[in-house]
Amino acid sequence: MDVILFGPPGAGKGTQAVAVCNTVGVPHVSTGDIFRRHLREGTELGLLAKSFMSKGELVPDETVVEIVGTRLSEPDAAGGVLFDGFPRTVNQAVLLDGWLRARGRKVDVVVNLVVPDEVVHARLSGRRSCLSCGASYHLLHLPPAVDGVCDRCGAAVVQRDDDSDDTVWRRLETYHSQTAPVLEWARSSCRVVDVDANQAISDVRLAVVAALSS
């Protein structure tokens, strides 16, 4: 099964990804996580991505498509994938669709997490992320058991550079102008399920799992 977890920055895609992967039994492919891993490793790709991410802009399509193509050719992606943060432009969506169809696959469902901009802003201001494994926390809604320490791997939990006030608003602008049109494309070519993501994390999880099972 190939699933796209869609929504604005801070909608809760990363938070819900584990439940989706467990339900569907596919690996989690997050383009943001891939770029941050490259950045930690100091690769050329990581530095290039950072120059766009830190301004709240999208990394150019040709770079994104290349890293996704590489990830999809790994053996664990052969039976389907959960896409998180990809596709983010209509061009990326069309390329993904062609790539899947050439392999007898298709996007089975797009789960669209719906959250107002003001809520996104509050979530991202309070978000803290693990420097090592990327696990996502929130100061109020989902704090780690020990302050500043990742529950999952024990590394430091800090604020992401692109979660600063100005950059969050810029990321939202980028979402509305370049990424929201992907939803129009999706509604005309695959099954899209809208989920109210402005509720407790556990309730969103139930709604997402129900969307996958229906």
Contacting positions for ligand AP5 (CB under 6 A): 7, 9-15, 30-32, 35, 52-53, 56-59, 64, 85-86, 88, 92, 123-124, 126-127, 136-138, 141-142, 171, 197, 200-201, 204
Which of the residues 50, 55, 71, 160 is marked catalytic? 160
Q: Which residue is nearest to ligand AP5 (CB)?
A: 32
Helix and strand totals (H; E) in the chain: 9, 8
Q: To the nearest whole angstrom, how small is the minimum distance from the Cβ of residue 88 to ligand AP5? A: 4
Q: For residue 94, which amino acid is it? A: V
Under a CB-based contact definition with an 8 Å cutoff, are residues 87 and 188 in contact?
no
Axis crossing angle, helix 201-213 with helix 13-24, rounded to the nearest 10: 40
Nearer to ligand AP5 by Cβ, of 80 and 126: the residue is: 126
**CA 157, CA 113: separation in Å to the nearest integer?**
25
Q: To the nearest whole angstrom, how small is the minimum distance from the Cβ of residue 137 to ligand AP5? A: 6
Which of the residues 36, 88, 128, 205 is marked catalytic? 88
Nearer to ligand AP5 by Cβ, of 104 and 147: the residue is: 147
160 catalytic residue (yes or no) = yes
The strand pair at 109-114 and 157-158 is best described as unpaired
Q: For residue 164, which amino acid is it? A: S
Catalytic residues: 13, 88, 127, 160, 171
